[in-house]
Structure 1
Amino acid sequence: MEEEFSAERLKPEDSPDKNSSCRTSDFYRVKPNLPKRFNHPEKLRGYSKKTLHPLYQTTNQTYGSKKPTVHEMPTAFHGTCRKFSENTLRCGMYKDNGFNTTLEKSPITGPNAINVLQDRITFHRSVCSERNQETGAET
């Protein structure tokens, strides 16, 4: 019995590499709501056919250039609910009309300096004076 099963299962024409028309449902139990693109992996497009120079080819490019087989396809599909997105489309995105009144203060130059980074001379003086205060030396 086991010999019949293994011989029946390992026929060369059933191999996913030899026969490109294999379906995922031929090998695995799939959910009834599985999209056709997952049941027929040979119909997936977008995999690179042009060859790259082997010196500049990364391992991710090598892995991503190979089409998936039926053994790598999902057997179930759980779509997301679009209720929030549809409501946002109908009503529109929230718009904040508030007025920002805070000053941008740099943690590098201290709490009293306001946008000193754009003025290079002032920025240099503030950084040097901060270092001198820490070490106790004067410029």
Structure 2
Amino acid sequence: MNLNYPLPRANAQTNAYWDGCAQGELRYQRCGQCGQVQCIPRSLCDRCQSSDLPWSASRREGTVLTFTTVYRAPLPAFKEMLPYVIAIVDLDEGFRVMANALSCVPPDALAIGARVRIGFKEVHGMALPVLESILEGAK
């Protein structure tokens, strides 16, 4: 993989999320006051502004909201990956994640509404969420 691949940078608010990815967990926050679920780490609840935001581990299963196949690289670092599939997945716990599909997920088998599982791929020392598999018997 290209060494110029743009990776996210962990910070004080996102460390727990990225540490979870490194351990094979897709973590999210659920407000202890109002129950609001948020995947983008924040110091306050998006709904009620509470700071009671414990982390939970997702089952990593969800439904494809939309997807696209990329044929033209937005940056030179992505050129060697072409073509690749990006999907937005509604996770069962109530948050969304955007992830590239691994090569073991055939693009012609992917569909809006398909049940999928999120996994992780190590890229230059960082575990990134990816579309790992289509769940059996689901569409």
TM superposition score category, shorter chain reference = under 0.3
| Relative contact order, higher structure (CA 8 A, sep 6+) | 2
TM-score w.r.t. length of structure 2: 0.18
TM-score w.r.t. length of structure 1: 0.18
Q: Please state which structure has a larger fraction of its residues in strand.
A: 2
CA radius of gyration, larger in:
1
